Structure 1
Amino acid sequence: MQKLLSTFLVTILLLLACAPMAAYAQEAKPETSAAEAPAAEPAKPDPTGANIGTAADIVGYAANGPTKEDLAAMSEKEPLAAKVAEAAGKNKISINFTWTLICGFLVMFMQLGFALAETGFTRAKNAAHTMTMNFMVYGIGMLGYWICGYALQMGGAGPFATLGGGGTMDTEFAISLFGKDFGIFGLKGFMLGGDAYDVAIFTMFLFQMVFMDTTVTIPTGAMAERWSFKSFVIYGFFMSMLIYPLYANWVWGGGWLAMLGKNFGLGHGTVDFAGSSVVHMTGGVAALAGAMVLGPRMGKYGPDGKVNALPGHHIPMAIAGCLILAFGWFGFNAGSTLAGSDLRIGVVATNTMLASAAGSVTAMFYMWIFYGKPDASMSANGLLAALVAITAPCAFVTAGSAVLIGAIAGVLLCVSVFFVDRTLKVDDPVGAISVHGVNGAWGLLAVGIFADGTYGDAFNTVDGTVKGLLYGDSGQFLAQCMGVATNFVFVFVAFFVFFKVLNVFIKNRVTPEIEREGLDAAEVGVVAYPDFSLNKTHR
């Protein structure tokens, strides 16, 4: 435990040392001369929201409406019209704030869905351990993200237009190659201090944090039933403070993948509306690396390589968890507009629902046709796989495309589970690698194929709407492929090395005796089902 605490404290101190870089980078930022352009007023934080939401926030107003001088003249000549315009702008931003926060609360509720699904799909003797990992991910992930993860991800992404503020998140560390800037990570917003004390920045933190926590949760299922709790804790901080924020910055924080369109004409750059790759593929690839390093559970594979089933102890619990996840997913996808005033939310939510239905049905029929029974666990995972797949393209595709994307995801889930289990010989108790990793990649590619050009104007600062291969933009598909390849290489290498190095200091895996007896009492101090502890049939 002393080694664990010392390692954690050293990590915190090293990452907090990055905070002064933000001030240095801002001071070193080149100034625009007066001859080139009029000096702009520096952005100021607004911790009360008193100055957020103005006439300039009315739809289309900032681009096509009056200048500041016109506003001043309107206030003098038509004070009532000016007040109405101000109220309309304030109301629009207030709606967006409320929508974003409520959707963030829905995504937070998904934590319960993950906990129930993963615990139900694992064995009774490890139920308390699996549930505790899913519970503590929330606190560990949030604190790590607060310390530096949010800053690395979103420190250069401001202002947040739909929330009317956040302009102080304006510093991105970038490198220059081929005459182009490649954003790597943000440098503002550490610990939500200083000029990050702003209502829009805090609201964005809450919404982005619950997405990050979803990512951190995913490997707890693939690595369940043999992962030591000490290793899990260190992993939680490493993911939330460093690996997730970096890839998320590249796609969502204005980083280099997002700028592939602006810099190289590849569509709108890598487009991931709600996180098929940023959230799910990142978690799935990390799960693959971790499960490979840990090795399979005892008894999973026989001496001759035969695959032995180790069934979960509570399928009703697991299916209930999947349905809770499906409910929270409406906040996940539709909430990613960050705007209740964006009426595309109706399309996003309906596409999400249709895809999930298709995925559960195709997974059911696949198992029924090829294995003789409509497997309940595969049907439930098919629903989740389709939700993962539709997460990136949900805002950009038609209903028919959403159903097709979900249907493919359901079949892909079944094929992938057996491939991972039987060919790769990677033990994944809940199918997280296939649900999140494989279908996260499929979802990102689906944008580059099915985006129909009706939505996404100016997405990633590129004029025009988002179009895929079927609608004439091969560049968009290439940008999506680059996003998938980057995610797999970066996340897999980072976590494979991380778990190998960590194992030198803190063992990733519990002892055979603890694994055989069950991780509950030994690792978290409580037994989920004490009345069953002496009944081997329940183990």
Structure 2
Amino acid sequence: MDITELSRGLDTIWVVLTAAMILLMEGGFALLEAGFVRQKNAVSIIMKVFVDIAFGALVFYLVGFGIMYGKDIGGLFGTSGFLMKGDLSHIVLNISNETYWLFQCAFVIAVISIVSGAVAERIHFRAYILFTIAMTGLIYPLAGHWVWSGSGWLGKLGMIDFAGSAVIHGLGGFAALAAAIFIGPRIGKFMPDGKVNIVPPSNLPLASVGAFILWFGWFGFNAGSTLSATHSGIGHIAITTMLSAASGGATCILFTMLRYKKADPPMVINGSLAGLVGITAGCAFVSDSVAILIGAVCGIAMVLATEMLERKKIDDPVGAFAVHGISGSIGTLAVGLFAVPELTANVGQGYYGLFYGGGWSLLGVQALGLATVAVWGFAITWLFLWLIRKIMPVRVSKDEELIGLDVGIHGVPAYSDNSDFIDLDRVKNGN
């Protein structure tokens, strides 16, 4: 075996393993969201995660990958590579196109899972399937093409988003915001007199385990984006990822102790995730100390954004927008401020942060890219949900919401002591 073949084999193993780590994050999403919602809706969370994986993978294989990485037209979208066929010769990597597809498939599944949490406990299952097809087949692939395809217009301008603070988390976060506003709050969340009712999580230990699984998978998310087992930056990427997540969690512990007189567990969980989201764009391009700063800023911003949504009477049960939309935005802009020259040497001449002598160029490109992805994610999500509502209900009925989606939609509770019977005929008839 020559050195070239050995290198290709190592890179293939690395990418497949990190893709598997990212796919394991779906278990994290499932546990996190199931722990944050009420017991009567835990099964609905699990079913949506299965939709994310099953429909997401198939649709991305059929059309999404081609739109994202196919032969380019005007820097806007790809036109080849559907069903992994046609001309993909422009993709020049040390791994096969099939291996690359698997890694990117794990990413697209993560995007739709972000939206899932924002509409938990009230979206109709059939409508969610249709939106998943739209997100994985068109919405995300187009945004990904603009930044990551090598020929997209934002990538050509010089936008840096190493593992997806904007393309994945910013897009998913702003799509989640649009979906939460469109579908409306849960029954009883906001009272006519302005009172906000707290909906207590059903199982915080379960949510915590979900967060730990996501934290673990993030090392595959970020370090795996090198697409090479011998990349010299893997260690640096791993440590910036760890430090930002730890900083987000630690900052939320201290900030909520000051603000609420006690450390708030859901905020601390989301604080660590906010740090992970924030470092995703610049994990390969910022210093260790800046990673700590990014995590801290994201943690505080997440808390304030969560409060802001409640003041605006926007119901986001798991904090999807505060974690992904806000932190993704901060992380994307942070690259324009803090990217280190020696770490961005392979990106392009002059593309480093404002505070390192790079001027306003990169920051301007990052801001343009972020605004484009955010507006695209919000507007197109609203449009697709509006179109879906023309053909079927987007929100479950009042009775289904009150009884819980587990029994009301799926016909089975998440937890049972086997002391009760379910009238199967009534469930099938929608009663």
| Smaller-chain TM-score bracket | over 0.9
* 1:446 and 2:338 are equivalent in the alignment: no
CA distance in 2, matches of 1:136, 1:497: 21
1:301 alignment partner, SS class = coil
Q: CA shift at 1:465, angstroms? A: 6.8
CA distance in 1, matches of 2:50, 2:417: 23
Partner of 2:155: 258
* 1:385 and 2:274 are equivalent in the alignment: yes
64, 76, 83: which is aligned to 1:184?
76
* 1:204 and 2:90 are equivalent in the alignment: no
Q: Runs (4+) of structure 1 moved beyond 4 Å?
A: 194-199
Look up the equivalent residue of 2:355 and give its one-letter code. L
* 1:228 and 2:114 are equivalent in the alignment: no
* 1:305 and 2:194 are equivalent in the alignment: yes
Q: Please tell me whether Structure 1 or Structure 2 has the larger radius of gyration of its CA atoms.
A: 1
Partner of 1:292: 181
Deviations 1:275-311 (A, max 9, x none): 0011111111111111101000000001112111011
CA distance in 2, matches of 1:465, 1:126: 51
1:325 alignment partner, SS class = helix
1:342 alignment partner, SS class = coil
Answer whether contact 2:222 2:283 (CA < 8 A) is retained: yes
CA distance in 1, matches of 2:418, 2:45: 17
Partner of 1:113: 28
* 1:131 and 2:46 are equivalent in the alignment: yes
Partner of 1:46: none
Q: Identity over the aligned pairs, expressed in percent?
A: 41
Partner of 1:162: none
Deviations 1:140-194 (A, max 9, x none): 1111101110011111xxxxxxxxxxxxxxx2111xxxxxxxx001112101124
CA distance in 1, matches of 2:350, 2:230: 19
Q: How many residues align?
A: 414
* 1:483 and 2:373 are equivalent in the alignment: no
Partner of 1:246: 142
CA distance in 2, matches of 1:228, 1:530: 23
Q: TM-score, normalised by structure 2?
A: 0.93
5+ long unaligned stretches in structure 1: 1-85, 156-170, 175-182, 261-268, 535-539
CA distance in 2, matches of 1:92, 1:125: 50
Q: CA shift at 1:195, angstroms? A: 5.2
Look up the equivalent residue of 2:305 and give its one-letter code. S
Query: Alignment RMSD, CA only?
Result: 1.6
Partner of 2:302: 413
350, 356, 370: which is aligned to 1:471?
356
Residues 195 and 481 of structure 1: is their aligned pair in 2 closer, same or farther, counting only changes over 3 Å?
Answer: closer
Look up the equivalent residue of 1:173 and give its one-letter code. I
Answer whether contact 2:178 2:378 (CA < 8 A) is retained: yes
Answer whether contact 1:458 1:465 (CA < 8 A) is retained: no
Partner of 1:503: 389
Residues 471 and 135 of structure 1: is their aligned pair in 2 closer, same or farther, counting only changes over 3 Å?
Answer: same
5+ long unaligned stretches in structure 2: 421-431
> Relative to structure 2, which stretch is displaced further, 193-202 or 330-339?
193-202
Higher relative contact order (CA 8 A, sep 6+): 2
CA distance in 2, matches of 1:96, 1:335: 10
Look up the equivalent residue of 1:445 and give its one-letter code. L
Answer whether contact 1:455 1:465 (CA < 8 A) is retained: no
Q: CA shift at 1:331, angstroms? A: 0.3
Answer whether contact 2:51 2:132 (CA < 8 A) is retained: no
> Relative to structure 2, which stretch is displaced further, 195-204 or 284-293?
195-204
CA distance in 2, matches of 1:196, 1:275: 23
Deviations 1:223-256 (A, max 9, x none): 0000000110000000000000000000111200
Deviations 1:15-62 (A, max 9, x none): xxxxxxxxxxxxxxxxxxxxxxxxxxxxxxxxxxxxxxxxxxxxxxxx
Deviations 1:376-425 (A, max 9, x none): 11111000000000000100011100000011111111011111112x21
Q: TM-score, normalised by structure 1?
A: 0.75
Partner of 2:263: 374
- Equivalent residue runs for 1:70-149 within 5 Å: 87-149=2-64
Partner of 1:277: 166
* 1:434 and 2:326 are equivalent in the alignment: no
